[in-house]
Every structure is written in C-alpha cells, then in structure tokens.
Amino acid sequence: MTIIPQKYGPGLQYVPSNAPIEDILFLMKRDGGIVVKGLVSTEDIDKAHADVREALDGDAEWNGDFFPKETKRASSLLAKSSTYAKTQVMNPVFQAVCAHFLTTRSTFWWGDKQKESVSKPYIQSTTAIEIGPGGKAQPLHRDSYINHNILTEVSEWDDVRDRTRECSLGMMAAGCKVTKQNGGTQFIPGSHLWSTERGPSPNAKDCVTPEMDKGDAFIMLSSVYHGGGENTTTDQYRLAFATFAIRGYLRQEENQYLAIPREVVKEHDRETQQFMGYYMSEPACGYVEQLDPIYVLYPELLKDAKLEDF
C-alpha cells in the first residue's frame, strides 16, 4: 500500500489489464474510478454487440430527464449474450474488484457462539447504452442512490472504517471508441468521499471523461458522481456495456429472477448463476423452501438436500 502512490501521478489513471489488482484497488479508493485498458477483446465486444443489437434497435424512447431521447438501451443482458456474461460479468478483474469492495463479513452472537457470515456480491444490473448524436448529458448522480446509501464526508479512504461504505460498483466497457465528444461517461474524481448532503450540486466543470478504445473499461464505485456525457457529434453512436454489482443482502436493481428465463439461466455456468442470485447470501437471504435457490434450477439434486442452520 505504501509504495503504490509513488508509481501513479494525480488524477484518473489508465492501467493495463494485467496491472496488479492492489494498484487497481488503491486507485479506486483514491479517485473513485479507473480505466483498465484492453479488459475485453474487440472480438468479444463485437460479438456481445451483435447479440444485443436487436434489443437496442427496438428500445422505446425515454420520457424523462435521466436519459436523453437519443439514447437507446438494452437490458437483461444475461438473457441475451453468453459472450457478455463470460467476458464482462465474469471477467476476473471485475470479479476481483467486486469481491474486494462488496463482500460483507459480519460476526454475531448466536447463543454462546460467535458466528461469522459472509455475503458475496451479485448482479445489480446489466445494460447496454448507446448515446446517439445530439444526446444531452445526463444529470450527474450517484448510482448508490438506488439503494439509499447515505454517506458521511471523509477526506480519504480508510480500509477499516470504509469496509461497508460502498453498496455497489459498476463497469462501463467501451463498445466503440469512446470520447468526450461522443458522450463518454463523465465523473468527478474523488466524489465518492463526499457526504450525501454536501452542496452545492455536483458540477460538470469538475468532471473528467475517461477516453477509451473499444474493449477498455471504466470501473467506478457507485458513490462517484457521474453521468453519460453530451454527444456533440452528428454521426457517432457511443456504445457502452454497463455492468453493476451489489452486496448480496441488498435488493437488485434489475430483477434477475424475472428478467432471465429459467431455461437461459440453466445455460450459464454455476458461477454465473450464483452471481445472478441463485445463491444464498449468508446467513439467510434468498432461500426457496428453506434451501439454497440452486435447487430450483436442479430439482434432481433435492434428494440429497438437507435443511440446516443458517
């Protein structure tokens, strides 16, 4: 932890996908976000894009301020693209970052014993977002507002104090070359340290826009103020795949159990199924008939199932 800062200058950092995970974690704690270059191959991005293209084209216009009317979205991506699942959701760097920030370990008295429970993160939401020419910037916001995450002001990240500070985090993987001009996500570095009530309102002049090649990924803590930028081009469509994860005991934004048909869930591997929510958050969130929800997918295993303490 002590020698890492000297390797990096101030401001948003761009690191290769084989950068030490400690560096990525350190920079996220310092800045709230980081760009990992070449996290996904351009071939895999193109395959995922082909898988979601029809849904993007069929999207209805948004009526409201959160998305400009020029933006198209495709959601429920785990129902649409196994390439997206394997190369983005289950990407080892993304998974390591999620495990670090979003695993909750608690010890409670249970009779005369102290019992530790470990709750692992799972999917919050999966959306491909394409901002068309003329699309205005989104209001700057914290995605952690979704889960009512109220924060105090801190001057810098403290691993012990802040172990449960963030409730979720997200990754924007570039589906094309992403620039400030075509609506790249803008964010305020360091704003994850701000309190909820702090004013005045977040200001776009404090933002930086990660510029990315296809396959690069911007990973951010969800308390960072950010938003899709304005697309000032006349002919560019900014495509990004947004993947969010959340602590295992909080409610998902995109309901995976209803969004993904069970036959498609069964096509994913066990780890992906767990990350979708077919898994219990210890000690006791998510059971079906008092058993791990995996038995809903594989009832043939029920004969060996036992009802046990949570």
Ligand X SMILES: O=C(O)CCC(=O)C(=O)O
Which among ligand X, Fe ion, none contacts residue 129 (Cβ within 5 to 8 A by kind)?
ligand X
294: number of CA atoms within 13 Å, CB side? 16
Residue 51 touches Fe ion, criterion: CB under 5 A: no
Q: What is the DSSP string of 101-120?
A: HH-EEEEEEETTEEEEEEE-
- The CB-of-144 to ligand X minimum distance in angstroms stands at 11
- How many Å apart are CA 28 and CA 93, to the nearest integer? 13
Structure tokens at 32: 């709230």
Determine the angle formed by the axes of helices 21-31 and 92-102, rounding to 10 degrees.
50
- The CB-of-73 to Fe ion minimum distance in angstroms stands at 12
Sites of contact with ligand X (CB under 6 A): 129, 138, 143, 172, 185, 226-228, 240, 242
Task: Give strand pairing partners of 126.
Answer: 243
Which among ligand X, Fe ion, none contacts residue 80 (Cβ within 5 to 8 A by kind)?
none
* Count of all residues that appear for the chain in the document: 310
- How many Å apart are CA 271 and CA 281, to the nearest integer? 14
- The CB-of-226 to Fe ion minimum distance in angstroms stands at 6
Which among Fe ion, ligand X, none contacts residue 185 (Cβ within 5 to 8 A by kind)?
ligand X
The binder of Fe ion chosen from 143, 216, 230, 253 (CB under 5 A): 143
- How many Å apart are CA 242 and CA 128, to the nearest integer? 6
Span near Fe ion by CB under 5 A; candidates 4-12, 21-29, 123-131, 140-148: 140-148
- The CB-of-229 to ligand X minimum distance in angstroms stands at 7
Span near Fe ion by CB under 5 A; candidates 51-59, 115-123, 138-146, 268-276: 138-146
Looking at the Cβ atoms of 121 and 184, the one nearer to ligand X is 184
Name the residue with tokens 């933006």: 71
- Cα angle 239-241-245, degrees, rounded to a multiple of 5: 155
Looking at the Cβ atoms of 75 and 87, the one nearer to ligand X is 75
Which residues have C-beta within 8 Å of that of residue 72, sequence separation ≥ 6? 56, 57, 59, 129, 130, 132
Looking at the Cβ atoms of 93 and 129, the one nearer to ligand X is 129
Looking at the Cβ atoms of 44 and 143, the one nearer to Fe ion is 143
Query: 73, 56 in Cβ contact below 8 A?
Result: yes
- The CB-of-228 to ligand X minimum distance in angstroms stands at 3
Looking at the Cβ atoms of 104 and 222, the one nearer to ligand X is 222
Query: Residue 137 CB: number of other CB atoms within 10 A?
Result: 17
- The CB-of-130 to ligand X minimum distance in angstroms stands at 9
Q: Which residues bind Fe ion (CB under 5 A)?
A: 143
